[in-house]
Structure 1
Amino acid sequence: MASIKPLADRVVVKAQEAETQTASGLYIPDSAKEKPQRGTVIAFGPGKVENGTKIDMTVQEGDTVLYGKYAGTEIQLDGEDVLIMRESDILGIVND
């Protein structure tokens, strides 16, 4: 994957694949799949400066995170779809 260095408090997230099958075994068609709200951090910026104080990033590369349904901007990076969003759009880090 191409190297990208987000600026300020932005994070690049690779979304996890949407579920293709329900718990009971039914297959979900592409038109009915929900947009994933979980992904893996692949890059993050240095943080931001607020009122003269540097605020470091909370997330790290490799973290699995939850984010809002409409968070971020989709971009293509080496043919893969990824999201770039502000750290504040991330709702939490999943401890697997």
Structure 2
Amino acid sequence: MKLVPLGDRVVLKQCEAEETTKSGIILAGSAQEKPQEAKVVAVGPGGMVDGKEVTMQVKEGDKVIYSKYAGNEVKVDGEEYIIVKQNDILAIVENESN
């Protein structure tokens, strides 16, 4: 099954939570905070949304940071996804190449 978002919606796959801190302390599952970083799985077409023209600025494969309480969590074929509006995405994470 494939999720196809409508309008300005974006389907995200959440990145794994950190299991250890930078200092090496191993966190129990209940102590791990859900990351706000995710990978874009699918992007809606944009277009007219609520009377305004919306151009999609993210694409499949982008790594993004999204608003903490944004979107709806869904489970499809045993996989968990988050569906958010594009304006709930705060930034695209780009790797610096030196």
- TM-score, normalised via structure 2 length: 0.89
The 1:51–1:18 alpha-carbon spacing in structure 2 relative to 1, beyond 3 Å, is closer
Task: Give unmatched runs, 5+ long, in structure 2.
Answer: none
In structure 1, the residue matched to 2:92 is: 93
Q: Which moved more, 1:64-73 or 1:42-51?
A: 42-51
The answer to whether the 8 Å contact 2:8/2:49 transfers is no
Root-mean-square deviation (CA, aligned residues, Å) is 1.5
Aligned residues: 95
Aligned pairs (5 A) from 1:1-96:
2-49=1-48, 54-96=53-95
- TM-score, normalised via structure 1 length: 0.91
Distance 1:52 1:26 in 2: 50
Q: CA deviation at 1:71?
A: 1.0
Distance 2:71 2:54 in 1: 20
Distance 2:70 2:50 in 1: 25
Q: Deviations over 1:8-44 (max 9, x none)?
A: 0000000000000011111001111111100000001
What is the letter of the counterpart of residue 19 of structure 2? T
The answer to whether the 8 Å contact 2:65/2:89 transfers is yes
Task: Give unmatched runs, 5+ long, in structure 1.
Answer: none
What is the letter of the counterpart of residue 68 of structure 2? K
Secondary structure of the equivalent of 2:69? coil
